[in-house]
Amino acid sequence: MTMIFENKTAVVTGGSRGIGRAIAETLARRGATVVIADRQIEQALATAAELAAASGQTVVALHVDVADSASVKALFDQVLAKFPRLDILVNNAGVTRDTLLVRMEEADWDMVLNINLKGAYNCSKAAVRQMMKQRYGRIVNTASVSGIAGQAGQTNYSASKAGLIGFTKALAREVGPRGITVNAVAPGFVPTALTNDLPAELKESTLKAIPLGRWGTPQEIANAVAFLASDEASYITGHVLSVDGGMVMG
């Protein structure tokens, strides 16, 4: 496989499993040095060891709570102490706490917004400082079709992902003159730990709404992220790439 990320360092939040793991693995296989930043440090360490062995690249795991600005600062201090550059940031860390709004606890609203949206703010703010010095950087945010079309039972999640889309476009305008692109992918339904607990009837109804007639795979999302993080996408910024089998068009 072409080593298009050779000599580049990437930070992937929430990279220990699911879509995040697929992203970390794809970047490593294509030549990047990868930092898996995750709250679940034991799982992240195991994932990093597996990906390093499989790719032959440097893959390390560092603890972070993306909702905590002090934790994020400590993460990026460690990254820049270990590596000379920071080229790619993938804001992938995310959680769901699904229920109808009338039943939703305030704590579940706050948790989802703090991790999914404030987390991207914290990490991007820290990363952009270094990227501006380099006059180069790629930020890719993991949004969702729920942030584009909305999803019943996910007012908190949909709001966080819609906010992330607006954040992506605004930041792209701010940092474009410094050679930094900011884009997002909006995955459709993909089998991961976040979707395992969806009701069977919802899973069945989503299939009917997808023109390609199937759910996506983590690798298909990772391929889109890798493209947006590459120099092949050097003239794309502020864009939201739906990877959803045609579920949401427009």
Residues carrying an active site annotation: 157
Burial (Cβ within 10 Å: 0-12, 13-18, ≥19) of residue 107: exposed
Alpha helix stretches (DSSP H) within the chain: 18-29, 41-55, 69-82, 106-113, 119-134, 146-149, 155-175, 200-208, 218-229
DSSP 241: E
70: helix, strand or coil: helix
CA–CA distance, 64 with 54 (Å, rounded to integer): 24
Bridge partner residues of 77 (DSSP): none
Paired tokens of 95: 């959680």
> What secondary structure does DSSP assign to 86-106, as a single string?
--EEEE---------GGG--H
What type of residue sits at position 194?
L
CA–CA distance, 178 with 29 (Å, rounded to integer): 28
> Starting from the edge strand earliest in sequence, which strands make up the sheet with 9-13, in order?
59-63, 33-38, 9-13, 88-91, 137-142, 180-187, 240-243
| Interacting residues of 173 by C-beta distance below 8 A, sequence separation 6+ | 238
End-to-end CA distance of the chain: give it in Å, rounded: 33
